[in-house]
C-alpha cells in the first residue's frame, strides 16, 4: 500500500508539471461553470452522501450534470450524490492526489480517456466489472466500441460517460459556390487535398483569404488519423495484448499522415492556427476556412454559433484510401467514470447505483442532447428527446454512422500507456518541426518515438510493471 502511494504521489507530481489541457475547450473552459447549489440531502439517517468530481465546464457543468444528479437523487432515497467541478482533468488529478493524502476522496471520479492506464496501474479504483458481475448487470445494450476502450485485460474498469470521436466539418455553401457537390464530401487524403485546392481563396496580393482546410496541431487528431489508417500507436497491439514497451507511431502509416499534412501546408491550403482548437473553430465560423477537423462533441456549439449563416456539413474522418473504411476506424475519446476504492463500501455501492443511473437510456438521451457526446447505450437513440434532437441536428448522423462503421479491434481500441499526455505533447512538437522544415516527417516521428519509448520504459519501471 505504501509503495503504491509513493508511486502515486511521485507520478502525479511529475504529470502535473507536464500535462496540457487535452480535452476540447467545451469540456473545461477557463471559467468554472456557474452551478446552482444542489438541494440538501434528505434528513434521513440511512442516506449515504457521495461526491462526484467532474471536469465539465460551461453549461455541461452548470446545467446538465447538476440536473442529472438531481434526477438520480429524486429517483431513490438511499443515496445522495453531490457533483463538484474540479477544473480541467489535470487539475482534478492533482486534487485527487491531495485527497488521497487526507483520505477525503470522492466516490465517483471523471477522468479523460488517456488516463486509463494510469488509473489501472495505481490500483486506486474498484473496477466496475466487480459490480457488473455481482449484479449480473446487462451490458449488451452498451456500445461495444465504447466499452472496449475502458476494458483492460478483459476487465471493464470504468463506465464510459462523455464519449466522442473526431470528424470532418465543412461549409456546404462554399462547396456549392466552388462547384463541389455539398452532398458528397471528401473521404480520403487525396480527395480532401483536391477539395482544399478548389476551396482555397487568395486575394490579388497573394494572401490566403479562405483556407481550404484547417486542423489544429493536436496529438489526439494524429492518434485518430493513425487509427483510421490502420496503424498502431504502441507495440503489443496498442498495449492491449501485453504491456506496451515501445512507441510505433513512426510507422509508414504515421509518416503518411505528416506527409499529407505537410503537402497541404506547403501549398498554402492548410490554415495556420497552432495548437488551439477553439481558434480553428472561430475561423470556420467566420468563413475563413472551408473545412476543419474537430470532435463530434462540438457539433451543437457549431450549429448554435453559425445559426443559419451558412449550412454546416459533416463527414467521416479522412483516411488514406477507401479500403481503410473496411478495416479500421476511429477511437473513442472523451472520458469515463471511476469508482475510487478508498471510499467506503457503502459509498462505492451508491457510486455504482449512480453510474448505472447515468447509463440508463433516458439519462443518456438527455446527456447526448445537452452535450453532443454519443449516448453509450444504443436504446438511448430511441428516446423521443434524442429523436427530436437528431431531427434538429441531422449532421450528427455522421458521427453515429462513423462509430458503428468502425470494427472493434486492437487498432480502434486505442493505445494503452501511462504517459499519454507526454506522448501527445511530443507528437505536437514533431508536427511543428515538420511544418517549419526543421525535420522530415520520418525524422520527426522517429525522434518523437524515441522520446515516448523512453518515457514508457521509465513509467513501467517506476510502477513496478517490469523488473
Among residues 168, 160, 225, the alpha carbon closest in space to that of 374 is found at 160
Q: Which residues of the chain have pLDDT under 70?
A: 1-45
Cell (9 digits) for 379: 436504446
Same structural domain, 170 and 313:
yes
Same structural domain, 137 and 55:
yes
Would 466 be classed as within a structural domain?
no
Same structural domain, 308 and 341:
no
Same structural domain, 228 and 88:
no
Would 196 be classed as within a structural domain?
yes
- Residue 123 and residue 4 in contact, taking contact as beta carbons nearer than 8 Å: yes
Same structural domain, 240 and 309:
yes
Burial bucket for residue 32 (CB in 10 Å: 0-12, 13-18, 19+): middle
Would 252 be classed as within a structural domain?
yes
Looking up residue 239, the CATH number of its domain turns out to be: 3.40.190.10
Position 102 scores a pLDDT of 78
Would 460 be classed as within a structural domain?
no
Position 43 scores a pLDDT of 54
Give Cα 155 distance to the centre of its chain: 21
Position 100 scores a pLDDT of 78
Position 99 scores a pLDDT of 84
Would 413 be classed as within a structural domain?
no
Same structural domain, 375 and 342:
yes
Domain boundary (405, 427, 444) is at 405
Same structural domain, 151 and 286:
no
Q: What strands, in cross-sheet order, belong to the sheet with 159-164?
A: 79-85, 48-54, 108-112, 333-339, 159-164
Same structural domain, 316 and 445:
yes
Report the distance separating Cα 278 and Cα 303, nearest Å: 15
| % of the chain beyond a pLDDT of 70 | 90
Would 122 be classed as within a structural domain?
yes
Burial bucket for residue 435 (CB in 10 Å: 0-12, 13-18, 19+): middle
Position 73 scores a pLDDT of 98
Which residues are within 8 A (CB) of 282 and not within 5 positions of it... i.e. 6 or more apart?
Answer: none
Position 42 scores a pLDDT of 55
Q: Are strands 155-156 and 151-152 parallel, antiparallel or unpaired?
A: antiparallel
Report the distance separating Cα 31 and Cα 276, nearest Å: 17
Would 458 be classed as within a structural domain?
no
Same structural domain, 160 and 186:
no
Which residues are within 8 A (CB) of 404 and not within 5 positions of it... i.e. 6 or more apart?
Answer: none
> What residue numbers bound the domain in which 21 lies?
2-164+332-405
Q: What strands, in cross-sheet order, belong to the sheet with 270-271?
A: 270-271, 213-214, 291-295, 166-171, 312-315
Same structural domain, 176 and 309:
yes
Number of domains composing the chain = 2
Same structural domain, 104 and 36:
yes
Q: By three-state DSSP, how is residue 25 classified? A: coil
Report the distance separating Cα 197 and Cα 56, nearest Å: 38
Position 17 scores a pLDDT of 38
Same structural domain, 390 and 426:
no
Would 412 be classed as within a structural domain?
no
Amino acid at each position: 500500500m505504501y509503495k503504491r502511494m509513493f508511486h502515486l504521489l511521485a507520478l502525479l507530481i511529475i504529470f502535473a508539471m507536464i500535462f496540457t489541457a487535452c480535452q476540447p475547450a467545451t469540456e473545461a473552459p477557463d471559467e468554472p461553470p456557474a452551478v446552482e447549489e444542489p438541494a440538501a440531502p434528505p434528513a434521513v439517517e440511512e442516506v449515504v452522501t457521495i461526491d462526484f468530481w467532474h471536469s465539465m465546464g460551461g453549461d455541461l457543468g452548470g446545467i446538465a450534470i447538476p440536473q442529472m444528479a438531481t434526477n438520480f437523487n429524486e429517483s431513490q432515497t438511499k443515496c445522495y450524490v453531490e457533483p463538484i467541478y474540479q477544473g480541467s482533468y489535470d487539475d482534478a488529478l492533482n486534487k485527487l492526489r491531495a485527497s488521497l493524502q487526507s483520505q477525503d476522496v470522492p466516490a465517483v471520479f471523471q477522468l479523460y480517456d488517456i488516463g486509463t492506464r494510469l488509473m489501472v496501474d495505481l490500483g486506486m479504483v474498484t473496477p466496475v466489472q466487480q459490480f457488473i458481475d455481482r449484479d449480473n448487470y446487462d451490458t449488451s445494450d452498451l456500445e461495444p466500441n465504447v466499452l472496449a476502450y475502458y476494458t483492460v485485460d478483459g476487465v471493464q474498469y470504468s463506465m464510459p460517460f462523455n464519449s466522442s470521436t473526431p470528424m470532418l466539418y465543412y461549409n456546404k455553401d462554399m462547396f456549392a459556390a466552388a462547384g463541389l457537390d455539398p452532398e458528397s464530401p471528401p473521404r480520403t487524403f487525396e480527395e480532401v487535398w483536391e477539395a482544399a485546392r478548389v476551396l482555397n481563396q487568395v486575394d490579388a496580393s497573394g494572401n490566403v483569404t479562405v483556407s481550404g482546410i484547417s486542423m489544429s496541431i493536436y496529438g489526439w487528431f494524429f492518434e485518430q488519423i493513425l487509427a483510421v489508417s490502420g496503424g498502431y500507436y504502441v507495440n503489443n497491439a496498442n498495449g492491449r495484448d501485453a504491456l506496451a514497451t515501445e512507441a510505433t507511431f513512426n510507422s509508414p502509416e504515421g509518416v503518411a499522415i505528416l506527409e499529407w499534412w505537410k503537402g497541404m501546408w506547403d501549398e498554402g491550403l492548410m490554415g495556420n492556427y497552432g495548437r488551439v482548437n477553439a481558434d480553428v473553430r472561430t475561423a470556420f465560423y467566420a468563413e475563413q476556412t472551408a473545412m476543419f477537423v474537430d470532435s463530434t462533441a462540438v457539433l451543437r456549439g457549431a450549429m448554435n454559433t453559425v445559426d443559419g449563416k451558412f449550412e454546416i456539413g459533416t463527414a467521416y474522418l479522412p483516411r488514406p484510401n477507401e479500403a481503410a473504411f473496411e478495416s479500421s476506424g476511429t477511437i473513442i475519446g472523451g472520458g469515463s467514470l471511476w469508482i475510487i476504492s478508498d471510499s467506503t463500501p457503502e459509498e462505492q455501492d451508491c457510486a455504482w447505483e449512480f453510474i448505472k443511473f447515468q447509463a440508463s437510456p433516458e439519462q443518456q438521451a438527455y446527456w447526448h442532447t445537452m452535450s453532443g457526446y454519443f449516448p453509450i447505450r444504443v436504446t438511448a437513440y430511441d428516446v423521443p428527446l434524442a429523436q427530436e434532437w437528431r431531427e434538429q441536428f441531422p449532421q450528427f448522423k455522421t458521427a453515429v454512422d462513423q462509430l458503428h462503421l468502425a470494427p472493434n479491434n486492437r487498432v480502434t481500441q486505442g493505445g494503452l500507456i501511462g504517459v499519454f499526455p507526454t506522448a501527445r505533447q511530443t507528437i505536437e512538437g514533431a508536427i511543428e518541426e515538420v511544418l517549419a522544415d526543421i525535420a522530415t516527417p520520418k525524422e520527426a516521428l522517429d525522434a518523437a518515438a524515441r522520446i515516448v519509448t523512453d518515457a514508457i520504459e521509465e513509467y513501467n519501471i517506476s510502477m513496478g510493471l517490469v523488473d
